Amino acid sequence: MGSIFTTFIKCRIGAMILFNKLIILLSRIVPRKKMTVIIEQGILQGQYFKTRLSNKSYVRFLGIPYAKPPIQDLRFKSPVKHPGWSGVFKAFSEGNMCMQLDVFMTKRIIGSEDCLYLNIFMPQVEELDNEKKAVMVFIHGGAFSCGSGTLDFYSPDYLIDENVIVVTINYRLNVLGFLNFGIDECSGNMGLKDQLFALKWIKTNISAFGGDANNITIFGESAGSASVHYHLLSPQSTGMFHKAIMQSGCVFNPWAFNENHKKAAFKLAEHMGCQKDDPKEIVQYLLNVPATDLVKFSTLKLKFEGQRDILNFQFVPTVESDAVNEKFLPAHPEILMKTASPVPIISGLNDLEGMIIFADHHKPSQILEYHKTDKIRRLFESSYTDEVINKIRDFYFDNHSLMNETTKLENTCHMLSDVFFIKDFYRGFNHLLKNGQTQVYNYEFKFNGELNACKKLMFATRPNISSLKGACHADELNYLFYGQLFGFLPKLDSPEFRMCRTMCKLWCNFAKTGNPNSSDLSFIWNNTSTDDPKYLILDGDNTRMVDGLIVSSRTHFWENITKLAQLKQKL
């Protein structure tokens, strides 16, 4: 019965997506007013649209190539400047997404190696407005393995209503973006270097679109948030942006960095039939392997000795070899954080981040097995002692047999949230706070609204977890962006509508001035500090300031676990 229900729900979701795609297709044939912009590469033409909530005019330029296609001999190399075009480039449709496994629908390899494109959205104010606008550059998530800056998920209508320019970008993913053989021909972190190349392109060209090249905010969610953090740490990114917003991800999250990249690289070569040992020869061999075969390999559930079972990705950011000439990450993040760019930061979490991990469990019973010691042990790469594992079990599952199912689900979700997102959260910016170098604004998003798309999709296929209240990983995104694929729009004057308005006001105020506050908000968001920590709870009409650390008891617990584990390693 359960499989029949799941199939029915998936068919309904598929039908909804097909219908929305048809609407999108029909909208493209509507005649539209056009705008022409001249940049170094040539002449661009964009189209006028109206925002969905306020009916404000804006112009969008889609599918602008910001680098040469990284194909043939450029595969695995750092991005190269695009030579430009002759005539008028009609920026009316999005460029290819980068090659990846379609984890949502078809389970097939989609996208292209030719994928380094960006989209620009510029508001049009009726009255004469010559002032340069703040620029917000969004970096999408997807575990460095999937996703794109597509309108399907990231149409910035709500942000444009606040009179900012928004840019969304694509960057290389998984093996094509993060394979590391420690040589210039395959240095690792190509995806992060794509992002940086896009930032340089934006800084050079955004004034032609009415943007302020000296007021750029980078923001991202999940792997996009970790990417923002990497740019804060990388010496190469210094000066390319002026503010940063990190939503549910940092470089210290266990899924965002790989210290075993050499094993993964040589395993890939072996799997592709290359028996050579020299990295240059291996890379030359891999240049002739179809990209789809490389990506298929990167989607295998590879696991080396000592690695955890969940959120275990081999092709993600890594430290680059001394042999590489232009290193994006020249040292371990622990070292680089001491010299991080001191720009104003917003950094936050959702209260049920760990719910996203339930998606990996097809049997409902598997979700309720995390109270078992062996299951907990497999969450970690560190060889924690039995004493440490038992302390973790007792903290979340003491009196497990007396708990009702909702409490078991909540505690499981909290443990997974803490392990993969929350326990490392404060490490992401504490070094800046201790030195008093910049202002940091913390938030916890816990709004249980109708636009919580990720949670709604989880509930649709896993009704046994529908008793959980709060916000899943990525649920805040639909309050910042309109997603064409699912078409979730807030009803006027609903709590969801007001949450959209509040979040976009905060994010855009911060992008404009470095301060998220304004007189038209009913609260004041105070910045945090090491001596007086505080954060904003984003919870619809109940949005409010709270003193202390986010989930302070759990945060302190993991601080103590880290100290205990370090002590045990020394003995």
Amino acid 389 reads I
Is the alpha carbon torsion for 152, 157, 158, 162 positive or negative? positive
Q: Kindly indicate the confidence band of residue 4, based on its pLDDT and cuts at 50, 70 and 90.
A: very low
* Segment 511-542, tens digit of pLDDT: 999 999 999 999 999 999 999 999 999 999 99
The better pLDDT of the pair 546, 436 is held by 546
Specify whether the CB–CB gap between 279 and 181 falls below 8 A.
yes
* Residue 38 three-state SS: strand
Phi-psi region at 55: left, alpha or beta (left = phi > 0; alpha = psi -120 to 50): left
- Active-site annotation holds for 222: yes
CA 417 to chain centre: 16
Specify whether the CB–CB gap between 234 and 336 falls below 8 A.
yes
Q: Is the pLDDT of residue 421 over 70?
A: yes
* Segment 254-298, tens digit of pLDDT: 999 998 899 999 999 999 999 999 999 999 999 999 999 999 987
> C-alpha angle with apex 213: 173 to 216, nearest 5 degrees?
55
- Active-site annotation holds for 231: no
Specify whether the CB–CB gap between 347 and 429 falls below 8 A.
yes
Average confidence (pLDDT) over 315-320: 97
- Write down the mean pLDDT value for the chain: 91
* Token duo for residue 233: 């740490």
Catalytic choice (261, 298, 473, 476): 473
* Segment 366-390, tens digit of pLDDT: 788 889 998 999 898 767 888 999 9
Helix (H) or strand (E) run with residue 43 in it: strand 42-50
Q: Is the pLDDT of residue 79 over 70?
A: yes
Residues 424 and 362: their CA atoms lie apart, in Å, by 28
Residues 289 and 523: their CA atoms lie apart, in Å, by 57
Q: Is the pLDDT of residue 240 over 90?
A: yes
* Token duo for residue 531: 């001596």
Q: From 92, 99, 142, 140, select the one nearest 120 (Cα to Cα).
A: 92
Percent of the chain with pLDDT over 90: 76
Q: Kindly indicate the confidence band of residue 364, based on its pLDDT and cuts at 50, 70 and 90.
A: low
Catalytic choice (113, 353, 444, 496): 353
Q: Is the pLDDT of residue 461 over 90?
A: no
Q: Are strands 186-187 and 180-183 parallel, antiparallel or unpaired?
A: antiparallel
Residues 474 and 467: their CA atoms lie apart, in Å, by 19
Catalytic choice (78, 145, 222, 227): 222
Q: From 7, 61, 69, select the one nearest 38 (Cα to Cα).
A: 61
Indicate whether this model's pTM tops 0.85: yes
Q: Is the pLDDT of residue 440 over 80?
A: yes
The DSSP secondary-structure symbol of 421 reads: I
Q: Is the pLDDT of residue 171 over 70?
A: yes
